[in-house]
């Protein structure tokens, strides 16, 4: 197993979280449209706005740390 620096692990985990949030931004509108209960649809839409905020915060962290995220797909979110 290759040794990784703390920065490598940080970038990998941040990239994974970023991917998960991006996938959720695509999925939540579909879930809101598919919901038969208007209250559930509103919850999905509310969570979408929260998720967009999460992405903005990750973008700020990336900029502050001067790192480049890896292009990857979060397997857990994809499943």
Which residue has 């598919």 as its token pair? Answer: 34
Q: What separation in angstroms does the CA of 2 have from each of 8, 9, 37, 69?
A: 11, 12, 49, 20
**6-78 CATH pick, 1.10.3720.10, 3.40.50.150, 3.40.190.10, 1.20.1260.10:** 1.20.1260.10
Which residue has 């509103």 as its token pair? Answer: 42
pLDDT tens for each residue of 17-51: 999 999 999 999 999 999 999 999 999 999 999 99
- Per-residue confidence (pLDDT) for residue 1, from 0 to 100: 54
Write down the pTM of the prediction: 0.86
Q: Which two tokens stand for residue 46?
A: 């509310």
């Amino acid at each position: 197993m290759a040794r990784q620096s703390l920065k490598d692990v940080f970038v990998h985990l941040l990239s994974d979280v970023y991917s998960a949030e991006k996938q959720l931004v695509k999925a939540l509108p579909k879930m809101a449209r598919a919901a038969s209960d208007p209250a559930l649809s509103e919850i999905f839409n509310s969570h979408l706005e929260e998720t967009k905020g999460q992405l903005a915060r990750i973008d700020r962290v990336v900029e502050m740390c001067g790192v480049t995220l890896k292009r990857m797909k979060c397997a857990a979110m994809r499943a």
